[in-house]
Structure 1
Amino acid sequence: MLQSVSGSRSQTHGKFIWCELMTPDTEASGRFYSSVIGWKVKPVEMPDLEFPYFLFEMGEGDNCPGVGGMMNFPPELEGKIPPNWTGYVAVDDCDQTAKDFIANGGQVQREPEDIPGIGRFAVVADPHGAVICIMKPFPMENPPQELAPEAVGNVGWRELYAGDGNQAFDFYSKVFGWTLDHDMDMGSMGVYKIFAHNGTPIGGMMTRPESVPMPCWCYYFNVEAIDAAASRVTLGGGQVVNGPMEVPGGSWIIQCIDPQGAFFCLVAPRR
């Protein structure tokens, strides 16, 4: 049975705030995504970092919006998990939310710890094993500006292929406070549940189809036009594994694998 999560929440609790690529080759991955999406790759210069870290940014100047990060596999994970994108969700209390995950049947895969100057984070998984990160950001004197949700280069949508769509929604609504915007009947594929944060739809979840080997989150990055983006994916050595496909609302999507093996998706308002 799901346990209640006590206390009032801020407006940022449950907000997706970051997306991170773990890859065996940051140089090659940086070139690929710069070509496909238009990001700039910027190395992070922080003395406390144990390994090189890179930002994906959009725009010009020294304080342009960052939309994600990239790192090589740490030694303890090399060869144990495939290249992947992972989302970060803001929480009011990282330690308490990690406990909430456990109390409601989830797991903590990396215990809460501080990233100096950035925030306190943990790697967690829902009851069916889909991995996500949680973070309580530290206050910043000069926070970077944020891209609009629909801006090219930003994360435009998040999607969970769940072990059980209904159970997953109940779990995440409990720990993150997400609400149901509406259900979409997908016929033989089941029900697609559109979920919202503070009343704004931010993603969807459904019971995973048999073609998806395990429960997982995936992320859709905004591009201007889907056909041109698909061409950039293949020219850069990636694969388009599904699409182009028109989705309700008129947008077009493709699902892809980058040259290092990480799964990612693109979304555009037109072909």
Structure 2
Amino acid sequence: MFVNMVVIRGKVPKLIVFLLLCVMFSCNQTEYPKLSLSDSIQYNHGQIVWHDLITPNPKQAMDFYSNLFGWTYKSLGKGDMAYHVIYRGDNAIGGIIPLNVTTHPSGEWLSSVSVPDVDKAVKYNTFRGGKTLFKPADFKGRGRSALVQDPQGAYIAYIYSESGDPKFQLADNSWLWNELWTNDIDGSLAYYKGVAPYEATEIEEEKVPYFMMKSGDQKLCGVMKNPVNNMRSAWLPYIKVSNVESVSKKAASLGAKIMLKPQDNIRNGAVAIIQDPNGAPFAIQVWNQ
């Protein structure tokens, strides 16, 4: 499907993990915006409810995404250790974590999935052979969260929100979808079925093995065979746009690399994959259904 892409995303150095934890620990007494603004608390376990960008250049990243998608920001904390909350309109949709190191200049988007019990999910991850990068901790206003590396090598955060899970909103310049690109599709399917109440259905129209992860009638995320050589398993977030061509061109003018241009034989030309100026990949897609 995306076999012409050339990306290498290897292991994250221990220094990166250490600095990431320092930022998270320095902010864990700060009050974070709620994930859900609804008056009633409801959960949709298995839904990816938050995204954090780790980046060596937060200022450049904020300028890039603001110019491309109109996002705004609110900083929690001060100086180099500040955590920057991303807003689309009045809704908080993600965060930016600074990693100002020269040893690992590439950024990456980290996804957070809703689970009923963070501690239990972390123990399950360890039992299945994964690694715990950040032990379960409580974040004021947010809930309980932990960061792990799954047994196939992908980084994922588990979260249990104090305010419940946000209702999915189909809107331009906001999160549309998430895909796990895995080097062990059978292992990933078996693993994530133990994390949340996922049911996997194979989508035969795709050019590579692809599974839709659902809970009841709700589609939550996709799992596909990693189409890129020399890349560890990783989650790829999708952002909804109204025009893939124009957004791709604008991203390139802002310093991004277009990893996959819109192609008629790939989802009818509705998808592009972009690497931001600091190396963090994400996808954009037109979706009007």
TM-score bracket for the superposition, by shorter chain length: 0.7 to 0.9
Structure 1 contact 247–253 (Cα < 8 Å) conserved:
no
**Does residue 57 in structure 1 map to residue 87 in structure 2?**
yes
- Equivalent of 1:95, from 113, 119, 132? 119
Structure 1 contact 255–266 (Cα < 8 Å) conserved:
yes
Range moving further from structure 2, 227-236 or 200-209: 200-209
**Does residue 28 in structure 1 map to residue 60 in structure 2?**
yes
Structure 1 contact 118–138 (Cα < 8 Å) conserved:
yes
Residues 210 and 222 (structure 1 numbering): CA distance in 2 closer, same or farther, change over 3 Å? closer
**Does residue 82 in structure 1 map to residue 106 in structure 2?**
yes
Distance in 1 between the 2:190 and 2:205 partners? Answer: 18
**Does residue 107 in structure 1 map to residue 131 in structure 2?**
yes
Q: Which one scores higher on RCO, CA 8 angstroms, separation ≥ 6?
A: 2
Q: Give the gaps of 5 or more residues in structure 2.
A: 1-41
Q: Give the gaps of 5 or more residues in structure 1.
A: 1-9
Shift of 1:138: 2.3
In the other structure, the counterpart of 2:278 is 260
RMSD: 2.7
In the other structure, the counterpart of 1:66 is 92
> Deviation string for 1:159-189 (max 9, x for gaps)?
11112112211111121121124332544xx
Structure 1 contact 225–269 (Cα < 8 Å) conserved:
no
Distance in 2 between the 1:37 and 1:11 partners? Answer: 28
Aligned length: 247
How do 1:75-224 residues align onto structure 2 when only pairs under 5 Å count? 79-80=103-104, 82-139=106-163, 148=169, 150-187=170-207, 190-211=208-229, 213-224=231-242
Query: More strand per residue: 1 or 2?
Result: 1
Structure 2 contact 46–220 (Cα < 8 Å) conserved:
no
Q: Which amino acid aligns with 1:109?
A: L
Distance in 2 between the 1:24 and 1:214 partners? Answer: 20
Distance in 2 between the 1:195 and 1:169 partners? Answer: 9
Question: TM-score, structure 2 length as denominator?
Answer: 0.77
Shift of 1:74: 7.4
